[in-house]
Amino acid sequence: MPCNCKVEMNGIPHPHNGCEFHLRKENTEHNGHHHPHRKTFDNDDRYEEEDCVAGDETVRYPDGSVRLRNPNIELMDQDILYHLALGSGSHDLVEMFGDVKFVCMGGTPKRMEQFAYNIMAEIGHKLPCGTTLQDISQFSYRYSMYKVGPVLSISHGMGIPSVGILLHEVIKLMYHAKVHDPVFFRIGTCGGIGYEGGTVIISDDAVDGALRNVFELLVLGKSIQRPAKFDKRLVRELKGLADPEDPYDTVTGKTMCTYDFYEGQGRLDGAFCDFTEADKMEYLENIYKAGVVNIEMESLAFAALTHQAGIKAAVVCVTLLDRLKGDQVNHDNQRC
């Protein structure tokens, strides 16, 4: 399958503050400036100094490459990444993806195609003459994947099951491609809790509908709970990118991840509803008091699986509406 992964890297900025997230905005981490109208959490004492990647020495090789926590993969003749239309035997994954540093995931194929073009302009990457961006996973008919230099832009679909399947295969892709120290991002949309549409929210924690900081999965009929942790240093560095001149607020806080868009998020407008508006408002106000600033449907699995793999990760979303003021999202909201 053709791939546009041979690139000139000269256009990539140097690492910022020791983080491998190449930032174009230098020296913007607060510098003592605060936007007078910006709603933000500035209490960095909440952050532990650990980088929140579990047991680096046990889940990554000394050179920073991904170590799979599954002995079965080594025994296989080839590993078929079915939902990506790739395979360790059918493709030279090191040649195609060995230079990847950042994996950016979002909900829809169109959104991630647009993101790929935006990143191309941002880092000054130029495709070889006569070529164009290609959806590497187009023949899977499930996810889309674009490669722009060291950046992968991948659609993850909607909800925990979809993003979970993708993460399993992308983590294995990083392993087979011998990628060193990859950083994963989810960029998407969400419903704000006390925050208007257009607010950028960086998740510093992911919790379920009962405010538990774990991802629960039934494996062979038994409940397995995996801690859902983000890399705290990466969260701080992303927060430091907020510019007082930005036409939107940037906040950090807990993200609630649900298994459903309607009842699971306390919406009154689904096909079924067995609670009152008063019940809904009491619940939303309680989670707001507990530090929840937004609701979506992927962050819990995203945090847990990347943490389990020893991969630095963060979630950045834009709010489409304030759930304390309503339930319905219209097409105008989606364009923000």
Q: Which residue segment(s) compose the domain that 131 sits in? A: 61-180
Say yes or no: 215 and 336 in one domain: yes
Say yes or no: 71 and 133 in one domain: yes
Say yes or no: 244 and 155 in one domain: no
Q: What is the pLDDT of residue 177?
A: 97
pLDDT band per the 50, 70, 90 thresholds, residue 60: confident
Say yes or no: 230 and 321 in one domain: yes
Say yes or no: 206 and 157 in one domain: no
Mention every residue, 6+ apart, whose C-beta is less than 8 A from residue 222. none
The DSSP-derived string for 55-122 is: THHHHB-TTSBB--S-TTGGGSS--EEGGGTEETTTS-HHHHHTT--EEEEES-HHHHHHHHHHHHHH
105: CATH: 3.40.50.1580
The residue from 129, 160, 180 where one domain ends is 180
The per-residue pLDDT for range 289-317, each reduced to its tens digit, is 999 999 999 999 999 999 999 999 999 99
Annotated binding site for substrate: 265, 267
What's 140's DSSP letter? G
pLDDT band per the 50, 70, 90 thresholds, residue 23: very low
Mean of the per-residue pLDDT values for the chain? 86
Annotated binding site for phosphate: 142, 186-189
Say yes or no: 144 and 195 in one domain: no
Annotated binding site: 142, 186-189, 265, 267
Tell me, yes or no, whether 5 lies in a domain.
no
Tally of residues, the chain: 336
Say yes or no: 168 and 275 in one domain: no
The per-residue pLDDT for range 149-188, each reduced to its tens digit, is 999 999 999 999 999 999 999 999 999 999 999 999 999 9
Q: What is the pLDDT of residue 114?
A: 96
Domain count, the chain: 2
Tell me, yes or no, whether 274 lies in a domain.
yes
Tell me, yes or no, whether 277 lies in a domain.
yes
Please state, in angstroms and rounded to a whole number, the distance separating the CA atoms of residues 83 and 99: 22
Say yes or no: 173 and 225 in one domain: no
Tell me, yes or no, whether 24 lies in a domain.
no
Say yes or no: 282 and 193 in one domain: yes
CA angle 114, 12, 93 (to 5 degrees): 70
pLDDT band per the 50, 70, 90 thresholds, residue 234: very high
Q: Which of 159, 105, 113 is nearest to 136 (CA)?
A: 113
Say yes or no: 106 and 239 in one domain: no
Please state, in angstroms and rounded to a whole number, the distance separating the CA atoms of residues 303 and 1: 31
